[in-house]
Amino acid sequence: GAVVSQHPSWVICKSGTSVKIECRSLDFQATTMFWYRQFPKQSLMLMATSNEGSKATYEQGVEKDKFLINHASLTLSTLTVTSAHPEDSSFYICSAKTRMDEQYFGPGTRLTVT
Amino acid sequence: DAKTTQPPSMDCAEGRAANLPCNHSTISGNEYVYWYRQIHSQGPQYIIHGLKNNETNEMASLIITEDRKSSTLILPHATLRDTAVYYCIVRVGDMRFGAGTRLTVKP
């Protein structure tokens, strides 16, 4: 299957700082990328959908000014958590959809805000 | 997308078949049934998907009832490495996850 990578795999940052997470489709072009968040012992929650070259569509309750998404190319999307706080600590997972409508997930990024 | 219902947890003996059920009684005609699994602290892994016919690949088999209101994922010979949370998703568009079934394979 296709491969999706995320960087970094884990990050610790101080409260009030911003963190950028990258999501790359390594061997295919992704028309659409998705960002999910997963808290301990819970399921994945869709945060936003991004299409290359256009603004992301955010799910209800997700602050677009706090979670900045940029999808500048068909192989790269970034999620920036701005002014992070401890409650933003979570497991962030991206996925990418192929032209054949297959969806592949990255390995996730664990964010800890101290 | 249609809602799915899965048992919260199941156990299976190593080497035996694991049969994971999923109810999706409100599924519409163009929605596919997808199965993913998530091993602790990793991203979801695609297993299999189908529309109305039964499907089989190297990982599993998917049995969809004729009325498409339920399906069963079958892992024919479960191993300890199959311990994971298994998600059944019915979709046309975005992939949205329910609570899933936590499968524990025991020696």
Q: What mean pLDDT value characterizes chain A?
A: 94
Residue B94 confidence (pLDDT): 83
List the beta bridge partners of residue B61: B56, B74
pLDDT in tens, A5-58: 999 999 999 999 999 999 999 999 998 999 999 999 999 999 999 988 888 999
Q: Which of B30, B45, B51, B94 to mutate to test the interface with A (most CBs of A within 10 A)?
A: B94
CA distance A15 to A25: 30
pLDDT classification of B1: cutoffs 50, 70, 90: low
Tell me the average pLDDT across B97-107.
96
- Residue appearing with tokens 């602290």: B41
Contact of B38 with B84, CB cutoff 8 Å: yes
pLDDT in tens, B32-72: 999 999 998 899 999 999 999 999 999 999 999 999 999 99
CA dist B25 and B78 (Å) reads 28
Check residue A1 and give its pLDDT: 66
CB distance A105–B96 less than 8 Å?
A: no
Closest residue in B to A6 (Cα) is: B43
Cβ atoms of B10 and B85 within 8 Å: the answer is no
In sequence order, the 6+-apart residues with CB closer than 8 A to the CB of A73 are A52
3-class DSSP assignment, residue A89:
coil
Residues in chain B closer than 8 A to A93 (CB atoms): 43-44
Percentage of residues in chain A having pLDDT higher than 70? 99
**Residue of A4, A95, A110 with shortest CB distance to B95:** A95
Is B100 within 8 Å of A93 when comparing Cβ atoms? Answer: no
Q: Are strands B61-64 and B55-56 parallel, antiparallel or unpaired?
A: antiparallel
Band of the pLDDT at B25, cuts 50, 70, 90?
A: very high
Q: Which residues of B are less than 8 Å from A104 in CB distance?
A: 46
Between CA B54 and CA A49 the distance in angstroms is 31
The predicted pLDDT at position A20 comes to 97
Summarize pLDDT for B79-93 with one digit per residue, the tens.
Answer: 999 999 999 999 877
